[in-house]
């Protein structure tokens, strides 16, 4: 009997222990978190500290407790599910309340998007990667303000507003500039998502337009023909669809217009209207962008823009390097060229020149106001017909009075004896390309002057037959000297030479 009572006591103790474990497992918590996005059912405002019981990676939700003060009397529910991205698990209750206090200034603040296509970016910078494209009327949660790069508007001045860390309903987080957002407080009830149109807004063609820089078609022509006008490229003319600012901008040589709009709406295949303006754009099969608009006087215009394969800055750099190499080729041929009738042309390594004794070319070729110095610009090119007979073309920018620069264009030819230049008047030019000779060509033949230290060889001592003989050979000395004037003796310690 005693043994039965003991067994019964052990059984009851084990049963109590199991019940205690089951109860504790049902009430075990992961910690406490802060709700970032308000719950509509049950109604719990963002910024509330919640007790968290379960994290489900399969369903992508937290299971959290409903605070007693927020429970509905008619609803016995004590727990609810929260999307993982809508709450931050902090840890202890104390740390959760500290986090909520930091979040409190913007806990109830949301924002409605005023522009279709407004981007959320990876960092608070207008050129950083876009992680989400907002629809007009879409609501985002404002998390907190951040310091970021200024956003420049169509007028070239910074737009009013600030960068915010934001959260979308589907859990995407990033940074958005507030210029095209309407901030409001949400204290309870249903969040009006205010979306206009529920159709799928995904548009990969429009996205591709937003992610590229659109330059005038003339830029693409220059790149393809390798005839770059640096002055035009330096203007950085372009078309900006204005998805970040709500104002599209066209800047070319004869157009500088801004087009405020409310929405970019598709009006056909690869074609869009900028609502609230006269602006339209179409993406052609060759990936050129046609832009149509009305000028202030009502004249309808069509412009074509292209997405270059390289940035404008990189193209400018490559063209600058190319021109420097062309000039260096002339300079290495000789730094000084002389002509019996047309004086002496002296070059400096930095592209400067001086030209003395050229009065026979004044004023038919060189204007009277031009001084005897200036800069050589290697920006001209030759047509195929001209390239068959000339090495290249350049502009001599003569110094003038008051800092003026006086341009005179020449084709040039390098040969073993020197430099030949031929005047290319405006009648010979098509833009920056020389396409024909003048009706009465003015040609100047210069002979190069050897540098004093060029190809100096010491004949007074023997030289190594492998190194110095190769140096002689590569210098071209064997091609220009008459070796009947030399007597060479090959000995064990080298080659000795003497003049006759």
Task: Please compute the mean of the pLDDT values over residues 345-349 and round it to a whole number.
Answer: 97
Q: Global pTM?
A: 0.59
What's the Cα-to-Cα distance from 73 to each of 49, 65, 77, 334, rounded to whole Å? 21, 15, 9, 98
Whether the pLDDT of residue 220 is over 50: the answer is: yes
Distance CA 280, CA 258 (A): 13
User: Residue 158 has what DSSP assignment?
Assistant: B
Whether the pLDDT of residue 198 is over 90: the answer is: no
Higher per-residue pLDDT: 262 or 120:
120
User: CB–CB of 170/37 below 8 Å?
Assistant: no
Residue 413: band (very low, low, confident or very high) from pLDDT cuts 50, 70, 90: very high
User: CB–CB of 250/291 below 8 Å?
Assistant: yes
Residue 158: band (very low, low, confident or very high) from pLDDT cuts 50, 70, 90: confident
Cα–Cα nearest to 436, from 482, 384, 398: 384
What's the Cα-to-Cα distance from 260 to each of 150, 163, 194, 307, rounded to whole Å? 19, 21, 22, 23
Each residue of 248-277: pLDDT tens digit?
A: 999 999 999 999 988 888 887 889 999 889
Distance CA 258, CA 250 (A): 7
Q: Domains, the chain, ranges and CATH?
A: 25-105 (2.30.30), 110-197 (2.30.30.40), 207-309 (no CATH), 323-448 (no CATH), 467-499 (no CATH)
Q: Which residues contact 284 (CB under 8 A, 6 or more apart)?
A: 270, 290
Each residue of 430-443: pLDDT tens digit?
A: 999 999 999 999 99
Higher per-residue pLDDT: 272 or 6:
272
Give the pLDDT confidence score for residue 376 in this predicted structure: 98
Each residue of 44-68: pLDDT tens digit?
A: 999 999 999 999 999 999 999 999 8
Question: Cβ atoms within 10 A of the Cβ of 163, count?
Answer: 21
């Amino acid at each position: 009997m005693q043994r039965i009572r003991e067994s019964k006591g052990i059984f009851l103790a084990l049963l109590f222990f199991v019940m205690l474990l089951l109860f504790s497992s049902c009430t075990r918590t992961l910690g406490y978190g802060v709700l970032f996005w308000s719950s509509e059912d049950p109604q719990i405002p963002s910024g509330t500290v919640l007790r968290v019981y379960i994290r489900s990676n399969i369903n992508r939700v937290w299971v959290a407790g409903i605070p007693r003060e927020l429970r509905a009397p008619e609803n016995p529910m004590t727990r609810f599910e929260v999307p993982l991205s809508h709450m931050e698990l902090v840890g202890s209750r104390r740390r959760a309340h500290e986090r909520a206090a930091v979040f409190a200034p913007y806990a109830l603040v949301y924002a409605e998007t005023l522009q279709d296509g407004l981007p959320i970016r990876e960092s608070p910078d207008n050129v950083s990667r876009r992680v989400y494209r907002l629809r007009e009327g879409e609501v985002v949660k404002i998390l907190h303000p951040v310091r970021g790069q200024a956003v420049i508007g169509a007028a070239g001045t910074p737009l009013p507003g600030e960068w915010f860390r934001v959260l979308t309903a589907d859990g995407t987080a990033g940074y958005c500039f507030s210029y095209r957002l309407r901030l409001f407080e949400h204290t309870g009830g249903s969040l009006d998502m205010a979306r206009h149109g529920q159709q799928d807004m995904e548009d990969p063609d429009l996205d591709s337009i937003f992610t590229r820089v659109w330059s005038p078609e003339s830029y693409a022509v220059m790149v393809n023909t390798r005839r770059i006008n640096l002055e035009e490229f330096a203007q950085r003319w372009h078309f900006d669809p204005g998805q970040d600012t709500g104002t599209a901008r066209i800047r070319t040589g004869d157009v500088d217009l801004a087009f405020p709009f409310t929405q970019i709406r598709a009006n056909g295949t690869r074609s869009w209207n900028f609502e609230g303006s006269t602006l339209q754009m179409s993406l052609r099969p060759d990936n050129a962008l046609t832009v149509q608009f009305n000028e202030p006087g009502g004249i309808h215009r069509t412009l074509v823009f292209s997405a270059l394969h390289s940035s404008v800055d990189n193209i400018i750099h490559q063209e600058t390097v190319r021109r420097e190499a062309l000039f260096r080729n002339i300079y290495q041929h000789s730094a000084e060229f002389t002509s019996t009738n047309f004086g002496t042309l002296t070059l400096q390594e930095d592209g400067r020149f001086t030209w003395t004794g050229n009065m026979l070319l004044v004023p038919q070729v060189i204007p009277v106001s031009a001084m005897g110095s200036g800069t050589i610009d290697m920006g001209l090119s030759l047509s195929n017909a001209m390239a068959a007979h000339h090495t290249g073309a350049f502009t001599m920018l003569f110094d003038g009075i008051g800092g003026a620069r006086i341009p005179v264009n020449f084709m040039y030819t390098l040969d073993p004896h020197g430099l030949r230049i031929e005047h290319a008047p405006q009648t010979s030019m098509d833009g920056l390309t020389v396409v024909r000779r003048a009706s009465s060509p003015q040609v100047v033949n210069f002979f190069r002057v050897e540098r004093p230290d060029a190809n100096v060889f010491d004949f007074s001592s023997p030289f190594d037959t492998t190194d110095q003989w190769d140096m002689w050979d590569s210098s071209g000395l064997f091609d220009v000297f008459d070796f009947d004037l030399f007597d060479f003796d090959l000995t064990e310690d080298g080659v000795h030479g003497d003049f006759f």
